[in-house]
Structure 1
């Protein structure tokens, strides 16, 4: 499958979307598990889109980890059924720990994030984008159905935010930086998963809106290494800088709006220590985001050069820059 326009790729992408939608639309743990398996079996051929040895190795690692988490998930679901005689309820504390850990492993959250960086540095940017966004949708939805273990989810949230930030500090590979950044953002999403699902979804959508143009521009114009950001190319540096700083959560950009709304909700819930740890993780990650921005600012001669790639994302980039005046008042109106 060396050709990325191979006709069967459309089939695999369709089955991948179908598997996720099957998990999202079900209230039955067995059919959710079936949806995750459909998603996994269609995503593996997409990881081998260029037919390289490194991709085959990455897809094998991904298959083993996802199979392990799926096995624990179905085992936990069967134990829950034996205990409750129902596939729909979540009332056994011991079993929910099993299901929770299997879903965190599937998501790549700390402290079970070890497998994610080792496979992301070997895949293309388009598949990396799918792995960091679409593949997290169904497990996040399933996590929101767990009624127990609030404290454990908060600990995983803090660990993900801190580990994702600390591990990215000495990285020079852009794919690894984006992967650890994704783990850090996952911590923010998980902090609200049991309190307000809508805000988790809002954060997730904002992350996708920022990631689409950023990963495409890095893929089309820049290489995989951090120093390549200083190379002469046709990219509009100010656009990429704005997207990177948005991921960092600097005001008045879209990423800041997401973090601010979650912080307001956590403070209203009197979760001050959790808020402090999340902010600490964001401050650490700000270092490597600013490092990337500085690399781009070095080549100031092409700061305002326009490019045809930018035109495809004008609406998303405008939304990113104008979110303070458009999105924030609307969301605050709904959560208050």
Structure 2
């Protein structure tokens, strides 16, 4: 939590927020591109501020992938200006612009950089990468999308996000594959409406912020560290509620946006896509439950890396957020009435 006492980090965080505003309020593709570049150059100092080998490697990888995506995007918008009246080229240009945006947000089939970079980041940077950094590419994607290409990408996202997390022992990589899976839901929601996307993103950000904050407080990075999570029964219940809510289990808050998306897909006759969504959510729930299962085990021993000082006010905050999460079904029925 000393992040907000550091003026350098606060400055780069503000620039990160403003760069997203520049991109989404730009009235030309060039303005959006400039915003993306500022965003990239403000996020790299945040990554490399951790001062370990993994973070410097992560910042270099992040810079290279984002630069390639930006070059591709810039090439596409210049090409579109030259071929302005050529309608035959439009579908190809839209696929190229879409692919550069998908690469920027770490979506399948351009997802290979994402789990590697996540592994070298702190929990706070992970939270930014999984939520805020997806806003600009998503908005730009919604302006000019190729439906067939995006549906293929959604399917890949769902499958890779679910299968990829099965054999991971790192919590950060698990959350990365979970993010790839949720990206499939987000892309499908932005194809339906921007309001629904905003609703899904805010729900996802709320849940992922609680989990990242929880792992930061407990200083946890690997699955085997969950076994000693026996300090307080309320901590375990919090973890259970938030993971099941993120997985989209009905009584919890995370189910509601997924329910709306499935409803829209069914109305528009995307039955096979709906089937993939539901099946992959089951696999995702399986590896969430595996994390919870390890924390519910009863062997307790104290280790050097374990942080004991859980501040009381933070703990009350987490409990209150978990209550909001568990009352999700009440909120969702209120929306319908």
TM-score (norm 2): 0.91
Structure 1 position 185, deviation (Å): 0.3
**Any residues of structure 2 matched to 1:253-268 within 5 Å, and which?**
253-268=252-267
Structure 1 position 27, deviation (Å): 3.0
What is the total number of aligned residue pairs between the two structures? Answer: 325
Residue 318 (str. 1) matches residue 326 (str. 2)? no
Structure 1 position 58, deviation (Å): 0.6
Q: Distance in 2 between matches of 1:161 and 1:172?
A: 20
2:151 to 154, 170, 175: 154
Q: Distance in 1 between matches of 2:289 and 2:320?
A: 24
8 Å CA contact retained: 1:226, 1:292: yes
Render the CA deviation track for 1:288-331: whole Å, top value 9, x for unaligned. 01111211222499xxx99542212344323211121113432x
Q: Give the superposed CA RMSD.
A: 2.4
Structure 1 position 122, deviation (Å): 1.1
TM-score (norm 1): 0.91
1:95 to 78, 89, 93: 93
Tell me which residue corresponds to 2:38.
38
Measured at CA, do residues 306 and 60 of structure 1 come closer, stay the same or move farther in structure 2, by a change above 3 Å?
closer
Structure 1 position 83, deviation (Å): 1.9
8 Å CA contact retained: 1:161, 1:185: yes
**Any residues of structure 2 matched to 1:84-123 within 5 Å, and which?**
84=84, 92-123=90-121
Consecutive unaligned residues in structure 2, runs of 5 or more: 301-309
Tell me which residue corresponds to 2:29.
29
Tell me which residue corresponds to 1:309.
314
8 Å CA contact retained: 2:22, 2:35: yes
Residue 230 (str. 1) matches residue 239 (str. 2)? no
Consecutive unaligned residues in structure 1, runs of 5 or more: none
Query: Which has the larger displacement, 32-41 or 311-320?
Result: 311-320
Residue 141 (str. 1) matches residue 146 (str. 2)? no
Q: Distance in 2 between matches of 1:51 and 1:200?
A: 35
Structure 1 position 222, deviation (Å): 4.3
Tell me which residue corresponds to 2:127.
129
**Any residues of structure 2 matched to 1:177-256 within 5 Å, and which?**
177-231=174-228, 232-234=230-232, 236-256=235-255
